[in-house]
């Protein structure tokens, strides 16, 4: 894997002492990789990433992995609130409104190489390979509904919920019943919270709840399923939740 070190961004600071345990994926939303590198290296923009991958599969390193690049902004996952400190940020040269509106084969090939390398190097759990839309679901939608998460799943580079036995799932359904949690919305929020999502804004705000659901769908149900039925969505979240709760991997 060839890394290009020609461009550097000064938009970084020190990581806290915790170890690197997340890989966060983004898209640039700019027309070209040149524009994006320029933007990410401009001090006044106060944003950066560790890596950016071009449409033709070139991987540029803009910030040392040892430093805290500024890519995640305000974000949350489980108990972690400073994702920039514990992650490596990877930008993909992609924009829905421009010519770079597809994830090219070369870009994905390089991304897979980079993810495999970083996952091994830092012993990163595949559950912690996430999109910006997962850790900031009320502000961000990248890497978007056309990003090939399924492909990453098949390579153990994203979490793929396992089937759980009927017996075990019955027990959890009983638990919901016993605790008087009846509405599907409340069950969904509890399960998404357990998975890692910040649900705080969704509890009393319909619009935010919809953003959260759309971002979950983008990652775990993929494009053809974006308009899936509520039942399919519910089943998918339930399977995900049960799988995390009841299986080891
Ligand atoms: Zn982003």
Q: What digits encode the pLDDT tens for the residues 83-96? A: 999 999 999 999 99
Looking at 34, 65, 80, 91, which residue is catalytic? 91
Task: Flag whether 160 is in a domain.
Answer: no
Which residues in the chain show pLDDT less than 50? Answer: none
> What's the CA-to-centroid distance between 23 and ligand 1, angstroms?
12
Q: How far apart, in whole angstroms, are the C-alpha atoms of residue 129 and residue 88?
A: 10
User: Catalytic site residue 238?
Assistant: no
Q: Which domain holds residue 57?
A: 3-154
Do 149 and 194 lie in one domain? The reply is: no
Q: What is the mean pLDDT of the chain?
A: 94
Give the pLDDT score at 125. Answer: 97
Do 99 and 124 lie in one domain? The reply is: yes
The one-character DSSP state at 94 is -
Give the pLDDT score at 63. Answer: 98
Do 144 and 188 lie in one domain? The reply is: no
Q: Considering its fold, how many domains does the chain have in total?
A: 2
- pLDDT tens sequence across 183-192: 999 999 999 9
Nearest to 90, CA basis, from 79, 103, 78: 103
Do 67 and 31 lie in one domain? The reply is: yes
> What's the CA-to-centroid distance between 173 and ligand 1, angstroms?
36
Give the pLDDT score at 88. Answer: 98
Query: What global pTM score does this model have?
Result: 0.95
Q: List own/partner pairs for 196-203 with CB under 8 A and 24 or more apart.
A: 196/77, 196/78, 196/127, 196/130, 196/134, 197/77, 197/134, 197/137, 198/76, 198/77, 198/135, 198/137, 198/138, 201/138
Give the pLDDT score at 231. Answer: 85
């Amino acid at each position: 894997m060839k890394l290009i070190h020609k461009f550097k961004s000064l938009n970084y600071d020190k990581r806290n002492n915790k170890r690197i345990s997340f890989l966060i994926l983004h898209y640039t939303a700019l027309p070209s990789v040149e524009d994006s590198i320029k933007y990410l290296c401009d001090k006044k923009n106060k944003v950066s990433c560790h890596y950016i991958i071009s449409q033709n599969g070139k991987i540029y390193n803009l910030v040392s992995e040892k430093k805290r690049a500024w890519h995640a902004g305000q974000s949350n996952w489980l108990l972690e609130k400073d994702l920039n400190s514990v992650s490596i940020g990877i930008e993909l040269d992609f924009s829905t409104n421009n010519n770079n509106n597809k994830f090219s084969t070369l870009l994905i090939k390089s991304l897979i190489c980079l993810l495999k390398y970083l996952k091994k190097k830092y012993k990163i759990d595949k559950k912690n390979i996430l999109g910006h839309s997962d850790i900031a679901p009320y502000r961000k939608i990248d890497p978007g509904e056309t990003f090939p998460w399924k492909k990453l799943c098949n390579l153990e580079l994203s979490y793929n919920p396992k089937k759980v036995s009927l017996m075990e799932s019955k027990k959890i359904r009983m638990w919901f019943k016993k605790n008087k949690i009846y509405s599907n919305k409340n069950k969904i929020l509890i399960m998404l919270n357990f998975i890692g999502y910040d649900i705080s804004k969704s509890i009393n705000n319909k619009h935010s709840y919809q953003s959260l659901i759309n971002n979950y769908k983008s990652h775990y149900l993929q494009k053809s399923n974006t308009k899936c039925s509520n039942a399919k969505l519910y089943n998918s979240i339930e399977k995900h939740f049960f799988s995390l709760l009841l299986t080891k991997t």
